[in-house]
Structure 1
Amino acid sequence: MRRVGREEPRAGRAVLPLSLTLVSGILDAVSFLGLGHVFVANMTGNVVVLGMALGGSPDFSTPGCLVALAGFVAGTVVSGRLAGAVPRPPVPALVVESVLLVAATAVAFAGLTPGRRFAAIGLLGLAMGLRTASIRLAGVSDITTTVITSTLAALGARSALAGGDGAGWGRRLGAVLLLLAGAGGGAWLILRWGPGVALVAATGIQAATGGAYAYLSRRRP
């Protein structure tokens, strides 16, 4: 994995990926329940949904999945550009992600017409692609923040039951539980107050996390 910039703060390594995993759970709940059965963070799930849509399932949207995928890939490209241009790529990436979430929230509160729905999907996909790639390129954590398949694999394969040392098990288990909590909390907010309120919650957590990380990154690890 390519590392960019200076060594990231230890506190940031511990807190950043877990907080962002919580946000991912909320955003995927918003996109799946409120934007037309697509995923904006979990691209593995999105590709599966796209396959079912292409196979003729009436419950899923081919255009919505394609917009999410295109936004995500575009976000990874932007992340690569940022990584080569700034000393601490996660910090500006988190700022841009927060701006994108604010924009998606504004779209949701303006009323989710078909066109605005696609706009919200694209903005959220762009934000998640930017963040996922930035975390990966900077080597902040082995937690991707958007999917937990590899996290679950490492949790089991490195456990004492598998003959491993169990290092990092708390962090990995925390990521699984926080993604679950984010999805559950996001669904609860959507069903009671709509996707706009859930996006406000996600944006607030994202902004607080980004601000804390920016502060910690200025201090010596």
Structure 2
Amino acid sequence: MAVPVGRRWEVAAFLSLTVATGLVDAVSYLALGHTFVANMTGNVVFLGFALSPDSGFTIAAPLVALVGFLLGSLIGGRTARALENRVHRWLGFVFVAQALVIAVVALLVGTGVLHRTGGTLYVWILILATCFGSQNATVRRAAPRDMTTTVLTLTLTGLAADGRIGGGKDAKPHRRFGSVLAMFAGAGAGALLLQATTAGVLVLAALAVAIAAAILLFAPAPAETP
């Protein structure tokens, strides 16, 4: 599905979403009991680890994340089909909603309503995983093929296999490098800031998603070729 903004603006928006993924997964993995809310491959592996009583992993948190992610993906898919003829409205609605939900979670964490332990831990995981399930469902339909915003396995494979060293014709791997650097920057910043403030990391993630939403809503359309 064509994104109605210029290519550079489009890439900037999806890189901003990738930064948000790194920030939030830093929170979820480091503060919420070794669980990812955006990268489901890790959660499936953790569920396998949890079969061993001595592994130190539990079933509940990654299972809640998977349920939330699937719920968000369902919502994102239905939203895309409902608004597929109004791309601006579709992208704006999804990412503005995601930014607002993450901001609300940050507020609840900052005011002590949500905690790292106890029952509210799972509420926290469920909400964030739902957000990123919706993001994935949306990005899957709108983003360039090599900009997934959450998973870098295929991105890294493409860098090596499709590049000139690997005998391919990908002479401009900038987007793939950008995705890797954006995820690294988000995760690194999240891990460092988490030592001082969990809510602050979530606020930054909400801001990154809001920036992506603003770009997709208001950036100039692609220049028409004569």
Normalised by the length of structure 2, the TM-score is 0.88
**1:145 corresponds to which of 137, 143, 149:** 149
- Say what the alpha-carbon RMSD is for the aligned residues: 1.7
Is the partner of 1:174 in helix, strand or coil? helix
Q: How many residues in Structure 1 have an aligned counterpart in Structure 2?
A: 215
Q: Deviations over 1:5-59 (max 9, x none)?
A: 6655323321112111111111110001111110011111121112112332453
Q: Deviations over 1:51-91 (max 9, x none)?
A: 11233245323111011111111111011111111111322
Change in Cα spacing, 1:90 to 1:197, as seen in structure 2 (3 Å) is: same
| Deviation string, structure 1 residues 160-208 (Cα, Å, up to 9, x no partner) | 01111224411101111111111111000111x1321211111122212
1:180 alignment partner, SS class: helix
Unaligned stretches of 5+ in structure 1?
A: none
Amino acid at match of 2:99: S
Q: In structure 2, what is the equivalent of residue 164 of structure 1?
A: 168
CA distance in 2 between partners of 1:201 and 1:57 (Å): 36
Tell me the distance in 2 between the aligned counterparts of 1:177 and 1:6.
23
Distance of 2:172 and 2:130 partners within structure 1: 29
Alignment map for 1:8-19 (pairs within 5 Å): 8-19=5-16
Q: Which residue of 2 aligns with 1:203?
A: 206
* Identity across matched positions, percent: 37
* Larger fraction in helix: 1
1: CA distance, partners of 2:54 / 2:150: 25
1:124 CA displacement? 0.8
Correspondence 1:214 to 2:211: no
Moved runs in structure 1, 4+ residues, more than 6 A? none
Whole-Å separation in 1 of the counterparts to 2:212 and 2:4: 18
- Residues 12 and 132 of structure 1, relative CA distance in 2, 3 Å threshold: farther
- Corresponding position: 1:184 with 2:217: no
Whether the 8 Å CA contact 2:4–2:216 is kept in 1: the answer is no
2:49 paired residue among 52, 66, 72: 52
Q: Is the 8 A contact 1:104 1:119 kept in 2?
A: no
| Residue 38 (1) aligns with residue 21 (2) | no
Q: TM-score, normalised by structure 1?
A: 0.90
> Residues 25, 57 of structure 1: CA spacing in aligned structure 2 closer, same or farther, 3 A cutoff?
farther
> What letter corresponds to residue 51 of structure 1 in structure 2?
G
8 A contact 1:52–1:60 mirrored in 2: yes
Residues 12, 136 of structure 1: CA spacing in aligned structure 2 closer, same or farther, 3 A cutoff? farther
